[in-house]
Structure 1
Amino acid sequence: MRLFTIHLFSLCLISLSLSGQKALLHGYLNESNSTKPISNAAIFLEPGNHQTISDARGKFEFKDLEPGEYSIRIKHISFQEHQSKISLKEGKQDFFAHLEFKNELMAEAVVNGSSLTGGEKGIRQLSGSAHYLGLKELETYEYNDAIRLLRRVPGVYLQEEDGFGLRPNIGMRGTGVERSSKITLMEDGILAAPAPYSAPSAYYFPTTGRMEGVEVRKGSSQIEYGPYTTGGALNFISTQIPDEFRAKLDVLAGSFGQRRLHAYAGESFTHFGFVVETYQASADGFKELDFGGPTGFDLADYQAKFRLNTSKEAKVYQALELKLAQSINNSDETYLGLSQDDFAANPYRRYAASGLDRMETDQRQYKFSYTLKPTNNLSVVSTAYRNEFSRNWYKLDKVLSNGENVSIANLLANPAAYADAYQTLIGAGDDTLYLKNNNRSYYAQGLQTKVVYNWNNQQIKAGLRYHEDGMDRFQWNNTFSLDQGNFTLINAGTPGTESNRIEDARAWAAFAEYRLAWKKWTFNPGLRYESINLARHDYGKSDVDRTGVNLSERENQVEVFIPGLGIRYDINSKNQIFGGIHKGFAPPGSVAGSEPESSINTELGLRSEFNFAKLSATAFYNDYQNLLGSDMAATGGVGNNLVYNGGAASVYGLEAELNGELRPAASHWAFPWALAYTFTHAQFDNSFESDYEAWGTVNKGDELPYLAEHMLNAQIGAAWKRLALNSSISYQSAMRTQAGSGAIDTDHEIPAQWMIDLSGTYHLNYHFSLFASVRNLGDAVNLVAMRPAGLRPTMPRSFLFGIKARW
Structure 2
Amino acid sequence: MYKKNQLLKICYAISLGSSYCAYAQTDTQQESGQINALEEVFITGGQERLRTLAGSGSFLDGETIAQFDSTDINDLISQVPGVYIRFEDGYGLRPNIGIRGATSDRSQKLTIMEDGILITPTPYSAPAAYYFPNVNRMEAVEVVKGPSAIKHGPHTIGGAVNLVTRPVKDERQGEFGITYGSDNFQKYRAFYGDSGEQWGYWVDALHYGADGFKELDNGADTGFERNDFNAKIRWRSKPDAEIQQQLVVKIGYADEDSDETYLGLTDSDFALTPNRRYAASQLDGFDSDHEQLHVLHSVDFNNDWSLFTRAYVQRFSRAWNRFDGFVSSGPGQAPIAAIDVLSRADAFPGLISLLRGDISSNGNRSLVVDVTNNDRDYGSRGISFNAQYDGDIAGIDHILEFGVRFHHDYIERNHTFRGYFVEDGVLVFDGVEDRQPKDLNEARTDALALFINDEFSIADLKVNIGVRYENIEGEFDDSLNNVQRERSQDVVTPGIGVHYQLSDNLGLLAGIYKGFSPAGPSSDDSVDPEEAVNYEYGLRYDNGTFTADVIGFFSDYSNLIGRCRASDSGCNDGDEFNGGEVEVSGVEVTSHYAISLGQTLSLPIDLTYTYTESAFQSSFQSSFSQWGVVNKGDRLPYLPENQLRLQVGIESANWSVTAVAKYIDELLEVPGQGALVEGQFTPSYTTYDLAADWQLTERFNVQLIAENIGDKQVIVARRPFGARPNQPRIVKAGVTYKF
The one-letter amino acid paired with 1:596 is P
SS in structure 1 at match of 2:607: strand
Which residue is 2:253 aligned to? Answer: 326
Match of 2:305 in 1: 378
1:195-229 alpha-carbon deviations (Å, 9 max, x no partner)? 00010001111111111100000010121100011
What is the CA deviation profile of residues 641-681 of structure 1, one whole-angstrom value per residue up to 9, with x for unaligned ones?
2111110110110111001211123x522111100000100
Paired residue type of 1:466 = F
Residues in 2 aligned to 1:503 and 1:380: alpha-carbon distance in whole angstroms: 33
Q: Distance in 1 between matches of 2:547 and 2:303?
A: 32
The question of whether the paired residues in 1 share the 8 Å contact of 2:383 and 2:405 is answered with yes
Q: CA deviation at 1:443?
A: 0.4
Q: Is the Cα–Cα contact under 8 Å of residues 605 and 617 in structure 1 kept in the other structure? A: yes
Among 549, 566, 569, the residue aligned to 1:616: 549
CA distance in 2, matches of 1:234, 1:713: 20
Identify if the C-alpha distance between structure 1 residues 553 and 758 changes in structure 2 by more than 3 Å, giving closer, same or farther: same
2:655 pairs with one of 711, 720, 723: 723
Aligned pair 1:309/2:309, yes or no? no
Which of 256, 269, 277 is the matching residue for 2:204? 277
User: Match of 1:353, as an amino acid?
Assistant: A
- Shifted more, 305-314 versus 448-457: the winner is 305-314
> Which digits, 9 at most, give the CA deviation of each residue in 1:677-705, with x for residues without a partner?
00100110111111111211111111110
Deviates more, 1:553-562 or 1:260-269: 260-269
* 2:401 counterpart of 1:461: yes
Q: Which residue of 2 aligns with 1:414?
A: 344
Deviation at 1:488?
A: 1.5
* 1:17-40 C-alpha deviation (Å, 9 max, x unpaired): xxxxxxxxxxxxxxxxxxxxxxxx
Does the alignment pair 1:782 with 2:714? yes
* Amino acid aligned to 1:384: A
1:515 and 2:467 matched: no
Deviations 1:490-515 (A, max 9, x none): 23646972211101111000110012
> Structure 1 residues 248-257 or 474-483, which shifts more?
474-483
Equivalence map 1:315-714=2 (5 Å): 315-375=242-302, 377-400=304-327, 404=333, 405-427=335-357, 428-430=359-361, 431-456=367-392, 457-491=397-431, 493=433, 497-540=437-480, 551-590=482-521, 591-593=523-525, 594-634=527-567, 638-665=571-598, 667-714=599-646
Q: Which amino acid aligns with 1:533?
A: E
Give the deviation of 1:304 after TM superposition: 0.3
Q: Is the 8 A contact 1:338 1:412 kept in 2?
A: yes
What amino acid does structure 1 have at the position aligned with 2:347? Answer: A
**Quick one: distance in 2 between partners of 1:574 and 1:806?**
39
SS in 2 for 1:479: strand
- Which of 699, 702, 714 is 1:767 aligned to? 699
User: Which whole-Å CA distance do the structure 2 matches of 1:148 and 1:169 have between them?
Assistant: 12
1:389-442 Cα deviation digits (max 9, x unpaired): 000000011113765521111111112212222222112230211111100000
- Letter of the 1:162 counterpart: D
Counterpart CA distance in 2 for 1:503 and 1:309 is: 39
Q: Check if 1:237 corresponds to 2:164.
A: yes
C-alpha separation in 2, matches of 1:619 and 1:604? 5
Contact 2:39 2:167 in 1 (8 A): no
State the shift of 1:111 in Å. Answer: 2.5
Does the 8 Å contact 1:631/1:637 carry over to 2? no
Deviation at 1:605, TM superposition (A): 2.0
On the 8 A contact 2:217/2:278 being kept in 1, the answer is: yes
* Sequence identity percentage: 34
User: Aligned with 1:746: secondary structure?
Assistant: coil
Relative to structure 1, is the Cα distance of residues 492 and 517 closer, same or farther in structure 2, using a 3 angstrom cutoff? farther
Shift in CA distance, 727/560, structure 1 to aligned 2, threshold 3 Å: same
1:792 to 724, 727, 737: 724
Q: Given that residues 662 and 671 in structure 1 are in contact (C-alpha distance below 8 angstroms), is that contact kept between their aligned partners in structure 2?
A: yes
1:137-185 per-residue CA deviation (whole Å, 9 max, x = no partner) reads 1110011001101111101111110001101100000110000000111
Tell me the secondary structure at the aligned position of residue 624 of structure 2.
coil
Aligned counterparts of 2:476 and 2:303: Cα–Cα separation in 1: 47
2:287–2:320 CA contact under 8 A, matched in 1: yes
Deviations 1:734-763 (A, max 9, x none): 121000100111211110011111111110
Secondary structure of 1:353's partner? helix
Q: Distance in 2 between matches of 1:799 and 1:735?
A: 28
Match of 1:296 among 210, 223, 226: 223
Output the amino acid matched with 1:436.
T
| One-letter amino acid of the counterpart of residue 698, structure 2 | Y
Query: How many Å separate the matches in 1 of 2:166 and 2:289?
Result: 20
TM-superposed deviation, 1:727:
1.4
Letter in 2 for 1:595: D
Correspondence list, 1:91-170, <5 A? 111=38, 114-170=41-97
- The one of 666, 671, 681 equivalent to 1:739 is 671
Q: Secondary structure at the match of 2:609?
A: strand
- In 2, Cα distance between the equivalents of 1:504 and 1:195? 9
Read off the aligned partner of 1:688 and give its amino acid letter: F
Describe the SS at the equivalent of 1:194: coil
Whether the 8 Å contact between 1:152 and 1:714 is mirrored in structure 2 is no
Matches of 1:658 and 1:773 in 2, distance apart? 24
Quote the Cα distance in structure 2 between the aligned partners of 1:738 and 1:619.
Answer: 26
In 2, Cα distance between equivalents of 1:617 and 1:82: 38
CA RMSD of aligned residues (A): 1.9
Q: How far 1:486 moved relative to its partner?
A: 2.2
C-alpha separation in 2, matches of 1:750 and 1:438:
28
TM-aligned CA distance change 1:401 to 1:446, over 3 Å: closer
Q: Secondary structure at the match of 2:208?
A: strand
Q: Does the residue aligned with 1:411 lie in a helix, a strand or coil?
A: helix
- Is there any run of 5+ residues in structure 2 with no aligned partner, and where? 1-23, 362-366
- Structure 2 Cα separation of the partners of residues 257 and 604 of structure 1: 47
Structure 1: gaps (5+ residues): 1-78, 84-99, 101-106, 541-549
Aligned in 2, Cα 1:627/1:571: closer, same or farther, shift over 3 Å?
same
Quick one: which amino acid aligns to residue 590 of structure 2?
A: E
Matched to 1:420, the amino acid is: G
Q: Contact 1:321/1:370 (CA < 8 Å) preserved in 2?
A: yes
Tell me the distance in 2 between the aligned counterparts of 1:308 and 1:411: 58
Q: Which amino acid aligns with 2:267?
A: Q
Gap change, CA 1:646 and 1:408, over 3 Å in 2: same
Q: Indicate if the aligned counterparts of 1:389 and 1:441 stay in contact, CA closer than 8 A.
A: yes
- CA change 1:617–1:332 in 2 (3 A) is same
Q: C-alpha deviations, 1:41-68, integer Å up to 9, x for none?
A: xxxxxxxxxxxxxxxxxxxxxxxxxxxx
SS in 1 for 2:136: helix
Equivalent position of 1:209 in the other structure: 136
> Are residues 424 and 241 of structure 1, via their aligned partners in 2, closer, same or farther at CA, if it must alter by over 3 Å?
same
Q: Partner amino acid for 1:523?
A: V
CA distance in 1, matches of 2:432, 2:229: 35
